[in-house]
């Protein structure tokens, strides 16, 4: 997927092997980036850690001042290869655990999970994680990609654009929603002993109350998809497999209850973050790590846009319409 986004075509077997070898060679966490992460409090939001790491990687990149396509491609692969180590290590240090070194005998997703948990995961789990990474990789002119385009349009560098994009993605109206979905589940209360039907009934009641209070419920609605997010069925199928794998029907109950109540009341459909949140929870990720997982994948889409912007750049500088006082006089 990353190769397709950056090159416009799927790779041949040889190109894929070369590309995978390049990605595998760039997985280790730069010791200086690790030192910077270690200097941050363990209470720092993982998105702040990710944003800081992207910025440090930019300042330390040997091609920092070179924005040619070749240099940007190298920077994009470097960021894509190294960000999983940042996300995985940050989660581990918050639990007082040591860094787990990457393995080059594992694929991207299997290695990501290995570095996060220090254990190899079964193929079903790796596959569900891989599905989420593919679905998160690229999504046209969303807020963070637009941010990256705006920064690039000033002829700033690729890492600055990615750093800004991470800041935009953090907000709960955008990528932060996958994390917020889990807060909703927590607020309703996850009761493992509960049946699917009991959980669904409680979730439905919670949603009805939230909507009566005019609350925005994260994980629902989309600026572009007004009749449902086309990525949701694929991610929901992955979530279903994880619910079966981990034996957690009550989570499906919460999922169904909220979805049904929202549909009945407002006909607003879930977005990708809705099934992604509980999938990551089941895999054992901490809730604040969810949006950094999105970052690790979206680096591909952002950097593809950055290179495309530079190919035929023009400064993005919108006009605004002034509607304030017409004339002011000095007192």
CA distances from residue 269 to 151, 231, 254, 263 in whole angstroms, order as listed: 32, 12, 15, 6
In the window 7-46, what residues touch ligand ACO (CB under 6 A)? none
Q: Give min distance, CB of 175 to ligand ACO, in A.
A: 5
Instruction: Give the C-alpha separation, 122 to 44, whole Å.
Output: 31
Residue 174 makes contact with ligand ACO by CB under 6 A: yes
Residue 170 makes contact with ligand ACO by CB under 6 A: no
Instruction: Give the C-alpha separation, 165 to 201, whole Å.
Output: 38
Token couple for 53: 């790491």
Catalytic one of 159, 273, 281, 305: 273
Instruction: Give the C-alpha separation, 91 to 285, whole Å.
Output: 8
Q: Give min distance, CB of 59 to ligand ACO, in A.
A: 28
Q: Give min distance, CB of 294 to ligand ACO, in A.
A: 7
Please report where in the chains the tokens 């409090």 appear, as a residue: 41
- Residue 78 among the catalytic residues: no
Catalytic one of 61, 159, 174, 281: 174
Among 168, 218, 235, 296, binds ligand ACO (CB under 6 A): 218
- Report the SS3 class of residue 192: coil
Stretch that binds ligand ACO, among 35-43, 101-109, 126-134, 263-271 (CB under 6 A): 263-271
Instruction: Decide if 233 contacts 269 (C-beta within 8 A).
Output: no
Instruction: Give the C-alpha separation, 136 to 252, whole Å.
Output: 22
Among 173, 205, 237, 244, binds ligand ACO (CB under 6 A): 173
Residue 275 makes contact with ligand ACO by CB under 6 A: no
Please name every residue paired with 270 in a beta bridge, in sequence order, or none if there are none. 220
Percentages (nearest 5) of helix, strand, coil residues in the chain: 65, 0, 35
Catalytic one of 61, 222, 281, 305: 222
- Strand segments, DSSP code E, in 131-210 are none
Residue 221 makes contact with ligand ACO by CB under 6 A: yes
Residue 175 makes contact with ligand ACO by CB under 6 A: yes
Number of residues that bind ligand ACO (CB under 6 A): 17
Stretch that binds ligand ACO, among 13-21, 190-198, 216-224, 308-316 (CB under 6 A): 216-224
| Residues assigned a catalytic role | 174, 222, 273
Which residues here bind ligand ACO, judged by CB under 6 A?
A: 173-175, 177, 216-223, 266, 268, 271-273
């Amino acid at each position: 997927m990353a190769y397709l986004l950056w090159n416009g075509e799927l790779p041949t077997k040889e190109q894929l092997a070369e590309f995978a070898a390049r990605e595998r060679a760039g997985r280790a966490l730069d010791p200086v980036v690790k030192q910077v992460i270690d200097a941050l409090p363990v209470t720092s939001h993982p998105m702040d850690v990710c944003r800081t790491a992207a910025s440090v990687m930019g300042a330390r990149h040997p091609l920092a001042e070179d924005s040619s396509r070749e240099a940007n491609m190298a920077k994009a692969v470097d960021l894509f290869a190294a960000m999983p180590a940042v996300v995985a290590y940050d989660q581990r240090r918050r639990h007082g655990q040591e860094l787990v070194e990457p393995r080059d005998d594992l694929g991207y997703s299997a290695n990501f999970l290995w570095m996060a948990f220090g254990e190899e995961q079964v193929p079903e789990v790796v596959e569900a994680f891989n599905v989420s990474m593919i679905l998160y990789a690229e999504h046209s002119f969303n807020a963070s990609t637009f941010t990256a385009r705006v920064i690039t349009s000033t002829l700033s560098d690729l890492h600055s654009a990615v750093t800004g994009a991470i800041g935009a993605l953090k907000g709960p109206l955008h990528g932060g929603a996958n994390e917020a979905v889990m807060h909703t589940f927590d607020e309703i209360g996850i009761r493992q002993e509960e049946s699917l039907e009991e959980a669904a009934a409680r979730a439905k009641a919670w949603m009805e109350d939230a909507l009566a209070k005019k609350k925005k419920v994260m994980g629902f609605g989309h600026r572009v998809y007004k009749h449902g997010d086309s990525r949701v069925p694929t991610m929901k199928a992955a979530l279903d497999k994880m619910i079966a794998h981990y034996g957690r029907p009550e989570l499906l109950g919460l999922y169904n209850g909220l979805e049904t109540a929202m549909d009945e009341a407002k006909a607003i459909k879930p977005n990708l973050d809705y099934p992604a949140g509980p999938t990551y929870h089941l895999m054992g990720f901490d809730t604040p790590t969810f949006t950094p997982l999105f970052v690790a994948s979206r680096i591909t889409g952002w950097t593809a846009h950055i290179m495309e912007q530079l190919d035929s750049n023009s400064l993005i500088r919108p006009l605004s319409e002034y509607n304030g006082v017409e004339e002011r006089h000095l007192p």
